[in-house]
Structure 1
Amino acid sequence: MLVKEQYDNYEDFCRRYKPEAPANFNFAYDFLDKADPDKLALVHLDDDGNRREFTYGFFQERSARLANALMAKGVKKGDRVMLVLYRRVEYWTVMLAMHRIGALPIPSPSLLTRKDITQRVNYAGISAIICEDSICERVDEAKGDCEGLKIFVQVDGETNDGWLGYEALLAEGDASCPRTDATPCGSDPMVIFFSSGTTGLPKMVMHTFDYPCSHFTTGAHWHDLEDGDLHLTLSDTGWAKSVWGKFYGQWMAGGAVFVWDFRGKFEPAELLRIMAENKITTFCAPPTVYRFLVREELTKYDLSGLRHCTTAGELLNDSVFHAWQKAFDMPIYEGYGQTETTLQVGTFKFMTPKPGSIGKPVPGWDIALLDEEGNEVPQGEEGEICIRIDKPVLGLFDSYMDEPEKTAAVKFDGWYHTGDKAWADEDGYLWFMGRTDDLIKSSGYRIGPFEVESALVAHEAVIEAAVTGVPDDVRGQLVKATVVLAPGYEGNEELTKALQAFVRELTAPYKYPRIIEYVSELPKTISGKIKRKDIREADLKKMA
């Protein structure tokens, strides 16, 4: 159905690669059911070191049984179903069953509180929930305030009162679930992701059944997967990144997905050991993970099977890029996208990566950097990343579900406005600056937080940093860094001066942080994004 071709360079890629979705596409029927049932689809490693392999035939049968069983319980096309599952095999089975039914899965993180569950269930009109046994108590506490929530399915553990046991339910379903004229496809709603929103309730990002096809670009070209490869994306299943790197594109490219289902604290040495022992061939993780990995003794691990690495979610600093390349003789290829999109900007193997650059626009995404009046900015000047939408864009979200006014606020005048800022260099590479409200205006300069953060974390004393602006009568704003130190370092005046001097050497002198605050941890969303707004608000309260 989808064939990976080889490209000589970026211009050749843009000229010949045309992402598209077949007519009336439904991933469960048009990819899964047509796949070789004996081919390896997924390798799962649990916290106890148990390794299991699963074929496409496993998912064909189990998803059909679950779809039939859920429909018999009243789940139907258009229903919204919350999934709170760890990195476990049932996640893939449930998602595929939802695609067969046409019910809309809403993957959600396990860190949701009772209040979060109540808000999201009512906000989204959720009628069923499928979750871990460890989440059931929170759901039971919340369900009295959730009138529309009718069906409860528990995965693992002794089944609680009022809950359906997952395995017992699965046994009730028939293994045949043929396609019919009513089967959802194409432009029908397929999945909802809650955005990770740093303020207020997150928005409901809805994608249609054509959406998985855009991830072929992610799997085949950005992850560079070949038939038989084993790919590891280190992502939780509660977010859109899980289907970026653990599902549609990797399978369509012919690779198998490797899942490390760790439940406790992330241990970088353990990840390296697992990658070596399981001969991972391609790998994707956020820059924070790479920063922890390069602090390990990398020569201890045989990663000879690894041939391609990618990163997204924040900017990768130079020191990590070069440390990784020196250790494994391979670069890290950056990329950029949102919950509302698939990969829209990237660096590919036929391009020379520039550390800190997110790359160039992906074919199928007509991208421009616009100013506040909607005009394209000159090369080298900052602008908002905007996507032309005067014709359909494969991979772009359909809408913010049930909220047309929020959709209209970002889709207007023929463009989708991402709310992210970047600038382009002389070679056409884009350099991400941050959200529009994260930019700092100091003495007439506009400073993006990422470049300063990247310089800070390149210092051996710094594990994490968040850069914000604080009001100043003279400069308008001062650059402030909130820093988490590595073990063995003490936040004092001497270290502050050393960090300031270090940043001045790596960036333009006016960008260095004039204020540095040392903290034990940074405020983050449950998806792990730094909440710079919380830092700014806390600073304003202190100043008041």
Structure 2
Amino acid sequence: MAWHVTMPTESYERAREDFSWDVPADYNAAHDLVGKHDEPDRVALYQACPDGRRERYTFADLDRRSDRLAAALADRGIGKGDRVGVVLPQVPANPVTHLACWKLGAVSMPLSVLFGPDGLGYRLEDSGAAAVVTDSDNYGTVASVRGDCPALETVLEVDWRNAGGHDGATAFGAAIEAADPGFRPVETGPDTPGIIMYTSGSTGPPKGALHTQSVWVGHCPAFRMYFELDVSEGIFWTPADWAWIGAMGDLLFPAWHYGRPVVDYPMEGFDADTALSIMAEFDVTSTFLPPTAIRMLMGTDVSAYDLSLSAICSGGEPLTSEILEWADDELGGVAVNELYGQTEANLLVCNCREWFPAEAGSMGKPVPGHDVAVIDGETGTELDPGEVGEIAVKHGDDPVIFEEYWNEPEQTDAVRVGEYHRTGDLGEFDADGYLWFKARDDDLIITSGYRVGPGEVEDAILEHPDIEQVGVVGVPDEIRGEVIKAFCQPVEGAAAGDDLRESIRSLVRENLAKHEYPREIEFVESLPTTTTGKIRRTELRERETE
């Protein structure tokens, strides 16, 4: 019988009280995701390519294919503990490579296809990657940094566009075909190192967060919450980069844990009409969409598409009330559930309409299995509701919390206090148990004695119909210590000038607080973002000191 993460669903309180982690002692992530299912011939992956090609893969197909890739990597000297880079878009070879690594006891390493030579080379060299699986589009970037990565001996090229590949490259497909189909996975357990995910590097050099193979188990209770408890049916899709924990952990791997199919589509930049077409074609019921993607959908006539959506989850930044209202009005009441997590400890908090009403701007309530608190970051003392402090989660036996930063013991120690992992984010619980995000600890603005979280100001400005995107930081001021400055990207066709500045200030004064309006506003054509779409506030602050 297939093993699944279960929890009571009668009520949120009952689930919190009765939940316990019960991960098998011989746990292997690949077996859990594609090898354990009672009906292995069910579809696991619908592949959609921009050129119109459509293919489907069953759980048995992925199991066999990852067996052979594991054998091919083993033939090339890859074994337990070795690191393997995965530089691929949303194509089947991407998760197959992760599965193969876990069968070997190797450590996979998702890397965005958006990285240039500097970003990719740093991560490959820092991790000591022994192999990379990439596609023809990114082969040149990998090849350009290979000489700076002394441990990197094997590069496999995936030619998913059927363009012919590169001369001299080792073809992924040929390597699989030549491999022994009788590969037997090595012995692993819940604590076996499984994956390194690099932080976005918005503050200092990127750090590699090492997780065990059971990290995907840690995502499952939240997966059930934000997709409204019943995940025994449905089809799942996200446009998010599969190099991001928000795509793999929020949707892809939990869906496979429960034996549900996922759609893949290698989208080069989010396009609202393409997204709606994919969801309509494959009858997608459940999707993870970043808030920016949702706002782009809001500018599209969704009624032109025959959608089957029942739930949307979203994270990375707080959802505004207009998003929830739009989903009610334009999507027929589809649940939109905010979630919260980070690379080091993902999916700690989320919403679930079946259990409690969403509060616009709140991240929701702690997920069963995760002991979340707001603490004094220095002492580890838990704070009372209404007090702003650092969001933290107890280590205990929680599988979602990372083990260490790769080769960074001091950095690892710095995010631990007592029995807690410190997220570096500031927040507060209210009297009803909802958690409200305030700011990154290093993003907090203190102006005239007031502590202001930039996220709140950004949310308020985004309510303005003429603003597409915004980043808010504190800039030095002789009188107030800091004043609030907003870098605003107007929507196409909007007149950027003093009238718009005053309109924005008035909106924030009226809807947020008089002391939280931006005294300085600069209009920009675009904003600096990380590979996962987050505003790089550090870069905005640096502009002010140049």
Shorter-chain TM-score range: over 0.9
1:269-297: per-residue Cα shift (whole Å, max 9, x none)?
22122212321111111111111111222
**Counterpart AA for 1:185:** G
**Counterpart AA for 1:425:** D
Q: Is the CA contact 2:239–2:275 (under 8 Å) kept in the aligned structure 1?
A: no
Comparing 479-488 with 371-380, greater Cα deviation is found at 371-380
Q: Is the CA contact 1:226–1:254 (under 8 Å) kept in the aligned structure 2?
A: no
CA–CA distance in 2 between the matches of 1:320 and 1:33?
38
Comparing 494-503 with 138-147, greater Cα deviation is found at 138-147
Q: Is the CA contact 1:233–1:245 (under 8 Å) kept in the aligned structure 2?
A: no
Q: Is the CA contact 1:232–1:246 (under 8 Å) kept in the aligned structure 2?
A: yes
CA–CA distance in 1 between the matches of 2:472 and 2:129?
37
Is residue 2:46 matched to residue 1:43? yes
2:177 matched residue in structure 1: 171
SS at match of 1:337: strand
Instruction: Give the drift of 1:23.
Output: 1.3
**Counterpart AA for 1:194:** Y
Instruction: Give the drift of 1:201.
Output: 2.2
Is residue 2:2 matched to residue 1:11? no
Is residue 2:68 matched to residue 1:65? yes
**Counterpart AA for 1:20:** D
Instruction: Give the drift of 1:373.
Output: 4.0
Q: Is the CA contact 1:236–1:242 (under 8 Å) kept in the aligned structure 2?
A: yes
1:508 matched residue in structure 2: 513
Aligned equivalent of 2:91, options 88, 93, 107 = 88
SS at match of 2:346: coil
Q: Is the CA contact 1:20–1:213 (under 8 Å) kept in the aligned structure 2?
A: no
CA–CA distance in 2 between the matches of 1:20 and 1:140?
43
Is residue 2:89 matched to residue 1:110? no
Aligned equivalent of 1:145, options 142, 145, 148 = 148
> What 5-or-longer segments of structure 1 have no aligned partner?
none
SS at match of 2:202: coil
Aligned equivalent of 2:392, options 378, 386, 410 = 386
Q: Is the CA contact 2:218–2:399 (under 8 Å) kept in the aligned structure 1?
A: yes
CA–CA distance in 2 between the matches of 1:455 and 1:474?
25
2:35 matched residue in structure 1: 33
CA–CA distance in 2 between the matches of 1:475 and 1:25?
56
1:191-246: per-residue Cα shift (whole Å, max 9, x none)?
11111111332111111122121122233332245223101122112222232134
CA–CA distance in 2 between the matches of 1:512 and 1:54?
52
Q: Is the CA contact 1:455–1:506 (under 8 Å) kept in the aligned structure 2?
A: yes
CA–CA distance in 1 between the matches of 2:189 and 2:48?
33
Paired residues, number:
536
Comparing 504-513 with 4-13, greater Cα deviation is found at 4-13
Q: Is the CA contact 1:211–1:394 (under 8 Å) kept in the aligned structure 2?
A: yes
Aligned equivalent of 1:77, options 76, 80, 93 = 80
Q: Is the CA contact 1:228–1:254 (under 8 Å) kept in the aligned structure 2?
A: no
> What 5-or-longer segments of structure 2 have no aligned partner?
none
* Cα distance change of structure 1 residues 139 and 274 upon mapping to structure 2, 3 Å threshold: closer
SS at match of 1:526: coil
1:282 matched residue in structure 2: 286
Comparing 69-78 with 23-32, greater Cα deviation is found at 23-32
CA–CA distance in 1 between the matches of 2:362 and 2:219?
21
Instruction: Give the drift of 1:5.
Output: 5.1
Moved over 4 A (4+): 3-6
1:479 matched residue in structure 2: 484
1:370-406: per-residue Cα shift (whole Å, max 9, x none)?
22443333322211001123x3222111111222111
- Taking the TM superposition and a 5 Å limit, the aligned residue runs for 1:259-278 are 259-263=264-268, 265-278=269-282
1:138-177: per-residue Cα shift (whole Å, max 9, x none)?
2222222222211111111434354211111001112222
* Cα distance change of structure 1 residues 373 and 92 upon mapping to structure 2, 3 Å threshold: closer
Is residue 2:300 matched to residue 1:296? yes
1:3-54: per-residue Cα shift (whole Å, max 9, x none)?
6455233212212332332212002234422222211111121112322221
Q: Is the CA contact 1:102–1:190 (under 8 Å) kept in the aligned structure 2?
A: yes
Instruction: Give the drift of 1:114.
Output: 1.9
* Cα distance change of structure 1 residues 187 and 373 upon mapping to structure 2, 3 Å threshold: closer
Aligned equivalent of 1:22, options 21, 24, 33 = 24
Aligned equivalent of 2:100, options 89, 93, 97 = 97
Q: Is the CA contact 1:79–1:104 (under 8 Å) kept in the aligned structure 2?
A: yes
CA–CA distance in 2 between the matches of 1:82 and 1:524?
23
* Cα distance change of structure 1 residues 218 and 42 upon mapping to structure 2, 3 Å threshold: farther
CA–CA distance in 2 between the matches of 1:372 and 1:58?
47
Q: Is the CA contact 1:208–1:397 (under 8 Å) kept in the aligned structure 2?
A: yes
Aligned equivalent of 2:126, options 106, 123, 127 = 123
CA–CA distance in 1 between the matches of 2:371 and 2:231?
27
